[in-house]
């Protein structure tokens, strides 16, 4: 819920989550530096910087892999929803770790008075037509620019300013950035370090992330097939087929999904798109008499799709009717905030 642009308020769960997140990242970085410096003690400042580059780089890659798994895991199993609820801070922390990797790289060149070599590497235009020898740092810089854009807009001010569909499209650039990062590592460190750990890390990450996204995406396809309306109405089922304080989700052919909620004997239909981040309203439930989005807890009245005062979000509603003991919904949307519930007692 929000007043102004504070969508998700601080609470004990968020403090605990952020504490675990920061402690895990610190433990990884300290552990990496400690173990690698024991195995091959650095002999100079430059070698220490090199270790930092690897520590930040591997940490950022593992964080990105995990972040990209959260969305499809939450689609496949609701037990992962609490992680999704807190994903924003994870993403911003990831950006800072990735930026530290990039800055350490610049520091590595600067420590040897060799910044012109870095510039020469990035502007060796002929190399851009080669595969092995491609200036892989450019791929990392491009990915970092996307991550910056995402981290900078990871606030509800930008979500409200850009509107959820545009904001979501912008943040889907993370998939492209992930591809750039994998190729950055494959054409970079994997070319000179022949440890089997690097291809193993890349292969495992690529398989897990893409596998989860493809499975979750195709599972959603069934819900997008839609039902052709009969005389303008879609059959939903009997009132008892909708669990109390829960919803059934339907969609007309080619249309957006509609969440048909039952609260006792009251039936109402709302857009399945939460006004906050377009989360799946119909997968939530009714808490304290209000329809609650499963992603970030935004709440709406079933009667008219409006958030309770002082909040101002409103959802599109749909006409519902009872016919021969079955609920039917008209897939033509009503203006946001239009009362449209019926009583089936």
Partner 1 sequence: MTRGHRRLHRLIWPVLIFAVGVAFVMALALRPPAEGTAASAPQELSR
Q: Which residues would be at the binding site for partner 1 (CB under 8 A)?
A: 50, 53, 105, 108-109, 112, 114, 117, 120-121, 131-132, 165, 168-169, 172, 175-176, 178-179, 182-183, 186-187, 190-192, 194, 199, 202-203, 206, 210, 213-214, 217-218, 220-221, 224, 251, 255-257, 273, 278, 280
Minimum separation from the CB atom of position 143 to partner 1 (A): 12
Nearer to partner 1 among residue 13 and residue 200 (C-beta) = 200
Q: Which residues contact 198 (CB under 8 A, 6 or more apart)?
A: 185, 189, 190
Nearer to partner 1 among residue 18 and residue 50 (C-beta) = 50
Minimum separation from the CB atom of position 32 to partner 1 (A): 18
According to DSSP, the residues that pair with 300 across neighbouring strands are 291
Compute the distance between CA of residue 196 and CA of residue 184 in angstroms, rounded to an integer: 17
Compute the distance between CA of residue 316 and CA of residue 303 in angstroms, rounded to an integer: 11
Q: How many CA atoms lie within 13 A of 104 on its CB side?
A: 19
Nearer to partner 1 among residue 28 and residue 175 (C-beta) = 175
Minimum separation from the CB atom of position 202 to partner 1 (A): 6
Q: What are phi and psi of 236, to 5 degrees?
A: -105, -35
Nearer to partner 1 among residue 35 and residue 132 (C-beta) = 132
Minimum separation from the CB atom of position 57 to partner 1 (A): 12
Compute the distance between CA of residue 63 and CA of residue 254 in angstroms, rounded to an integer: 36
C-beta neighbour count of 17 within 10 angstroms: 18
Q: How many CA atoms lie within 13 A of 252 on its CB side?
A: 15
Minimum separation from the CB atom of position 189 to partner 1 (A): 9
Minimum separation from the CB atom of position 75 to partner 1 (A): 9
Nearer to partner 1 among residue 154 and residue 251 (C-beta) = 251
Q: Which residues contact 284 (CB under 8 A, 6 or more apart)?
A: 247, 291, 292, 293, 294
Cα distances (Å, whole numbers) of residue 194 to 62, 176, 187, 189, 197: 19, 26, 12, 9, 8
Nearer to partner 1 among residue 126 and residue 324 (C-beta) = 126
Q: What are phi and psi of 271, to 5 degrees?
A: -60, 145
Compute the distance between CA of residue 223 and CA of residue 215 in angstroms, rounded to an integer: 14
Sign, CA dihedral 329-335-336-338, equals: negative
Nearer to partner 1 among residue 193 and residue 244 (C-beta) = 193
Minimum separation from the CB atom of position 149 to partner 1 (A): 17
Q: What are phi and psi of 277, to 5 degrees?
A: -125, 25
Minimum separation from the CB atom of position 127 to partner 1 (A): 10
Nearer to partner 1 among residue 113 and residue 343 (C-beta) = 113
């Amino acid at each position: 819920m929000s007043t102004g642009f504070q969508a998700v308020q601080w609470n004990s769960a968020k403090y605990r989550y952020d504490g675990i997140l920061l402690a895990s990242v610190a433990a990884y970085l300290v552990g990496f530096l400690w173990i690698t410096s024991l195995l091959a003690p650095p002999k100079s400042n430059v070698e220490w910087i090199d270790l930092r580059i690897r520590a930040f780089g591997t940490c950022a890659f593992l964080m990105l892999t995990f972040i990209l798994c959260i969305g499809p895991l939450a689609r496949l199993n609701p037990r992962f929803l609490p992680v999704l609820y807190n994903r924003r801070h994870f993403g911003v922390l990831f950006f800072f770790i990735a930026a530290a990797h990039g800055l350490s790289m610049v520091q590595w060149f600067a420590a040897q008075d060799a910044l012109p070599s870095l510039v020469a590497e990035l502007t060796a235009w002929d190399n851009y037509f080669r595969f092995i020898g491609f200036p892989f740092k450019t791929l990392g810089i491009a990915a970092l620019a996307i991550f910056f854009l995402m981290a900078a807009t990871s606030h509800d001010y930008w979500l409200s300013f850009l509107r959820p569909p545009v904001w979501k499209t912008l943040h889907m650039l993370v998939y492209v950035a992930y591809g750039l990062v994998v190729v950055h590592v494959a054409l970079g460190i994997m070319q000179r370090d022949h440890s089997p750990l690097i291809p193993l890390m890349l292969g495992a990450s690529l398989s897990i992330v893409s596998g989860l996204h493809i499975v979750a995406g195709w599972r959603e396809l069934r819900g997008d097939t839609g039902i052709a309306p009969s005389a303008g109405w879609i059959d939903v089922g009997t009132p008892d087929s909708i669990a109390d304080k829960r919803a059934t989700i339907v969609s007309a052919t080619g249309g957006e999904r509609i969440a048909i909620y039952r609260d006792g004997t009251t039936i109402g239909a709302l857009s399945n798109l939460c006004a906050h981040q377009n989360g799946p309203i119909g997968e939530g439930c009714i808490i304290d008499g209000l329809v609650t989005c499963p992603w970030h807890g935004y709440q709406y009245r079933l009667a008219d799709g409006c958030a309770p005062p002082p909040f101002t979000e409103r959802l599109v509603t749909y006409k519902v009717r009872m016919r021969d003991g079955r609920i039917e919904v008209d897939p033509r949307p009503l203006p946001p905030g239009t009362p449209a519930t019926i009583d089936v007692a």
